[in-house]
């Protein structure tokens, strides 16, 4: 299939073949494959969380000027904003910051503190603060594929992902999907990369200030997110029932 093909029409057999070919490829080789196949249509996303430096360093070694999309909800920790500046300067990132159309202050005034309004409120918040800016970023950057740093060990949902799939009409490529936390820490040490400063205070997964807390030593690394209601923010979930069915059927 050529790059001019419509991404929405990608057959399941195509992603199956790609995943078979890349099954034993290391993370750098997966990024290199994506760069060759998608060229300027390839972007990456980063939440600038705990070990974000790993994917940012790995990807920019292969594609130095790749667009790095960051969704700024307006509620990130001060430490996160400073971490963004640190990594942008150190790695020479081509950073593209996208924000919600409604400011944080205006949203609270109009909608209240949605993250405190149960699952429905949290879903509404994620739609306006995260999902809409992400869709806009992919559209405006002309993205046909995006790299993300998800790992199978992080959540039950992620345990069933593949290295290459199609989400909401765009290829999503996960080069470090099969890495353990040990692999991540080894990479950080090998290249002397910084971790998020909040890690020293017990944070293992870092998002919005209102929906993130430190975790205990016996808790899952994402237990401190979303008040325990869920582990995924929605950016990586299937957007339609058809997409979920297609993805799930390909795992059989």
DSSP label of 165: E
Closest CA to 168 of 149, 148, 188, 183: 148
Contacting residues for 184 by C-beta, under 8 A, at least 6 apart: 51, 54, 151, 176
Is 111 labeled as catalytic in the residue annotation?
no
CB distance 64 to 35 below 8 Å: no
Annotated catalytic residue, options 148, 166, 233, 235: 233
Strand partners, 70: 97
Beta strands 67-71; 94-98: pairing state: parallel
State the CB neighbour count (10 A cutoff) for residue 251: 9
Q: Would you name the residues annotated as active-site residues?
A: 233
């Amino acid at each position: 299939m050529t790059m001019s093909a419509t991404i929405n029409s990608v057959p399941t057999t195509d992603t199956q073949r790609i995943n078979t070919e890349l099954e034993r490829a290391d993370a750098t080789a997966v990024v290199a494959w994506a760069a060759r196949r998608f060229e300027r249509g390839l972007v990456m996303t980063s939440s600038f969380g705990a070990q974000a430096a790993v994917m940012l360093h790995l990807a920019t070694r292969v594609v130095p000027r790749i667009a790095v999309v960051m969704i700024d909800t307006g509620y990130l920790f001060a430490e996160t904003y400073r971490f963004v500046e640190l990594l942008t300067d150190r790695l020479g990132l081509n950073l593209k910051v996208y924000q919600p159309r409604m400011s944080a202050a205006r949203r609270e005034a109009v909608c209240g503190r949605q993250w405190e309004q149960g699952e429905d409120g949290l879903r509404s918040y994620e739609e306006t603060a995260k999902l809409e800016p992400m869709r806009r970023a992919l559209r405006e950057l002309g993205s046909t594929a995006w790299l993300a740093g998800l790992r199978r060990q992080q959540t039950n949902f992620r345990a069933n992902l593949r290295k290459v799939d199609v989400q909401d009409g765009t290829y999503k490529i996960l080069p470090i999907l099969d890495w353990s936390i040990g692999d991540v820490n080894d990479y950080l040490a090998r290249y002397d990369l910084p971790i998020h400063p909040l890690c020293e205070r017990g944070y293992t997964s870092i998002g919005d200030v209102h929906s993130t807390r430190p975790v205990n030593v016996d808790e899952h690394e994402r237990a401190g997110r979303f008040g325990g209601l869920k582990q995924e923010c929605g950016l990586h979930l299937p957007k339609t029932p058809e997409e979920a069915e297609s993805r799930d059927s390909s795992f059989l």
